[in-house]
Structure 1
Amino acid sequence: MLVVEILMKSRLSVLSLALITVCSVDSIRNLPAAALAGNQLFYYFALALLFFLLPCAIVAVWFSRQSEQGVYGWVKQGLGNQWAFIAIWFQCIQNVLIYPTLLSFIAGTLLYSISPDLVQNKSMLFLIIIFLIWSLTWINLKGIHLSSRFNSYCSITGLILPFIIILFVGLYWWITQVKPGTTVLPPAEPYSWTSLTAIILSFCGIELAAVHARDSKQGAFPKAIAISVITIFLTMLFGSIVLAMIIPPEQLNFISSIPQLIQLFFNKIGYGYFAFIINGLIAIGCIGAANNWLIAPIKGLEFAINEGFLNRQLSQVNKHNAPFRLLVAQAFCVSIISALFLIVPSINASYWIMLNAATQINLLMYLLLFISAIKIVSSKPILSKLNIMIPAYLGLAGSGITLIVSLTPPPSLAISSKLIYALLGAIFLVIMTLIPIWRRPRVLT
């Protein structure tokens, strides 16, 4: 029986909730961008853990006891309706921006399995992205039950298993290929700290698990989050190390380095045909992750619609109780943004621009989340607020610094003017912030 079918019939256990959380956040698609950090990987991952992942987990657990409305309800408690709408707006925009990168990774994995040369075919890449986003939208339009069954299968067979295989590849390579006294990891690329953007993005989304807190057994949610944090951190760290150890930095491709790694390993041991199967499983796993993220931000946006920030007709549901207008609008926006792969000369550059923009928007949402937590507990006695105040301030500092770092392009983009790049990034963030500020809640009748 599928995991979600079991979960739907009983209260969520610690392991069940941890599985949901890990499958929602953990993803191998960000490993190539993180691997550019080379021998600085441990340093950047430690910073991301201390200043982002742990603060997010602690604040999410605390907020889950305050409100069941997710990010919207959490920011609303501390900063009010207007900022709550802005926070959920950021979450939705981030989703739209990150989808083309996730779907391009799936497309790249599938194309590489057929022929490595096909990965550079932009038209083929774009068509597969369009097919995937509208197929996932159709699945979600058919209702949450079909969506959950589909997601469970994808997460178990296509995410956990390939992660184990990648870690096994690294162990095999260490034993058979690394000579004593040699340097395992290559030197970090120039401006390697821009990889911090990809590492931080790899840790985004742990707060989504809070919507399941009320469905879990008593005391299960904090334990599940603790297990999830450890699992996500270790899998992402060692996955990045494996990639950096085997594939030279100059050959890292954001959408095809993972299938390249799998192919390289199985060719080495004489079972090259297995690579096609494993890469297919990886693609399936990422489809499951994409499906998991498709409707979560929309559910949060519905809270804002119910309070009058947007037209109520947008949240209209079909006979399967799916918000079809919002789902279709999201798919339409993703389709338009994905055209960037056809416009920008380099596929890597297109991928990075969208990944970076998504991270920036996500960080703005986290800034509001941490500020809201600080404001809520600021009036409490000093001893009772330190357990939230300290991680919230750490998260605030980490998010702010990463936001500044994200305004610097990596050398691989070959941007002629870093100042213009930074200014365009800042203007983009200002515009994305002003759009929801201009909205005012309507009086509902």
Structure 2
Amino acid sequence: MNNSWFSNKIYSLLQSVYDWYLTTPDRFLEIAYRAALEIKSIEDNHFYGNKIDFTVVSYSNSVMDYFQADLTKQLKIIRTQLKKFNTSRSLLWISTKNFVEQDVELNNKSNFIVDKLKFIDEITSKYTLIEIDTRQLVTRNLSKPLDTSKKVPRQLKNKKSQGQEWSKANTIGVLPRSIFNTINRLQLELDPNAEQDVVKKFRKSQQRTIISVRFILLLIIVPILTHQIVKAFLVGPILDKSKILENLQHTNEIGLFLNYEMEEEAIAELNQFEEKLKFQNLINDKNPLSKEQMDNKIKEKAQNIAQNYQRLSLNAIRNVFADILSVFTFVCLLIISQKDIAILKKFFDNIVYGLSDSAKAFIIILFTDIFVGFHSPHGWEVILEGISHHWGLPANHEFIFLFIATFPVVLDTVFKYWIFRYLNRISPSAVATYHNMNE
């Protein structure tokens, strides 16, 4: 019986692996098809169903750079996945055999594949690699002189080899591009459906804004409420019943403090009170306190300090468990809200790309100076000491100094790499403004 069950499991496992192997070309085709749908979505939502081109709609350079980068990415995905699709189909000889033997099901599948390929060809036929390379040459050199020593795109080399001479004049129209943009804008304004399209876009943008703001508030309010509720109604009563501080009597002489820093603070506070009391007693000539009265007041103050630090110790332990549950709640919100995250990303993209180049540079300089600037070590030190105090841990100054010496440097390197690789491609004019303001 066990051997039969084991053999069935092995057979089902091998069958699932075999099925996954046979559907490999379909997966590659599906990825390419989704990339084509992304391009189609950009065309429908932002270019009125036309080709993604700066002559169709009058957008700013930053917005066009954003669309062009997305277009280049999707076209590369389509090209790569179609190569994988053709290669995997040539290797799956079993799939070809089954394709001949079965009629109805595989014929439907063949028609489905052909429809996807036709749609992909319809989308990609509007764009050629020479247009993408030329657009990248223009956008990457807005703030730099053209370097003629760089490699010429392969398509341009092919044109030269065929006797077609290419020059920069070929990329410039007879009439200024602004005239065509004005004509296109007039056509859109004279379109009877233009008002409906504007209202539809506004409502879509309004809905995206409402969803994004609501999701941001949820990400902030829900973890905070979880922290307070768990701390007050779950962790607090459990700790009060367990009397965890009384169990610390075996490891701590006083049994009230979680670390030596809290004990030193309590002793310093008591010493300060005692010195203040002695000083007031010395300058009080009318009713000086006796030694016994002073000892009683010092003892009473010590009991108050002990109760205060006992409450702080319990609060630190509550914070540890409440923070863990708050982080768990935050992660769960991110997991179950993938659609809201996608909408929030589009919302921030619209805000960021709607800013001027000087505003982008200002925000970049502000954040870099706060987190990785000259005065940032003091801020990191305050943050780390605050976290240690929040959890009732002793502030390890060696760890804090090591963190300050490494983390801001790594963060600054990553940030500069992001500016060089990403922002320089999306908005080169903003990078140029950033460098001018930073200097």
TM-score by shorter chain over 0.5:
no
TM score, norm. by length of structure 2: 0.26
Rg bigger for which structure?
A: 2
